[in-house]
Amino acid sequence: MTLRLNRQDLVNMINSMEAGGHDASHLRAVLATLPLPTQSRQSLSHLREEEELSTADYLNIRVGDLFANGITDEVLAQLIEMDSSYNQKELEAMCKDAGLSSRGGKKELAAKLLASGRVKDRKVLFEKEMPEEAQMQENQVNLLEQNQWQAGPDEELKIPEVYLRRLKFEIVVFTTNKDFTFRCSGYEHVPSGGFRFANVIIDTSKLNPQGEVELKRVTFHPELELVNVPFMAMPAPEDLVPGEAD
């Protein structure tokens, strides 16, 4: 006799097993292979726009059932890392290669890969390629927290390499008053209709009336979202020179 379970039945079975103290990781891996619920995507779009759901809350609704404790800070940090490391097509291809559903946004696809255990090999490779000093710095940084660095006009502004190595794009934002730029590791279209940018570095240096730098200052934001604001993306230059951003 064949037992047929829908997605919710499988979720209920996983919850029941874990509540009884049993390991259900193999079933969560199976859950990751199933397509995400489709009926909630449109309603979530309205919900996110009306209630301004955080990224963690949104992902908890979409893919939280793939993880025993939902989207924790640790899981979210790994999803943001994968989101900044791969584009949509790469993640879709990785899911297909792993036998997973390739439907969903970048973080949703990353969640499936993470839940299925298919990113462990990449992590080992990444650690082998990363210098030991950079590995230590990586472990000491929380990319979910805002950060800021500043220095005098004649001093060197030291920004940890872990923040700079992720910067792939320079974004020029066009506003009514004055255009401004920032750098990020990646960006994606979100259900609210806007764009979300990951690992954002903004030059917030203070200039005097003559346009000379009085204070070098750079600010880091884990995420930034723009809605109904035109922008242009281009490859980020190699060097970040505080005070030169428009």
Per-residue model confidence as pLDDT tens digits over 9-38: 667 777 777 677 777 666 666 666 666 555
pLDDT at 149: 93
Instruction: Please state which of the ranges 98-102, 112-116, 156-160, 193-197 shows the lowest mean pLDDT.
Output: 98-102
C-alpha distance from residue 209 to each of 178, 212, 213, 214, 245 (Å) = 16, 7, 10, 10, 16
Nearest-angstrom CA–CA distance, 230 and 173: 6
pLDDT value at 219 more than 90: yes
Average pLDDT over residues 179-196: 83
- Angle of CA points 188, 192, 193, to nearest 5°: 65
User: Lowest mean pLDDT: which of 92-96, 129-133, 168-172, 203-207?
Assistant: 129-133
Which residues are paired to 232 by β-bridges? 172
Q: Residue 48's pLDDT is what?
A: 46
SS3 167: coil
Average model confidence (pLDDT) across the chain: 75
- Residue 140 pLDDT grade (very low, low, confident, very high; cuts 50, 70, 90): low
Rounded CA-CA distance 166/27 in Å is 34
pLDDT at 194: 84
Judge contact between 230 and 172, C-beta under 8 A.
Answer: no
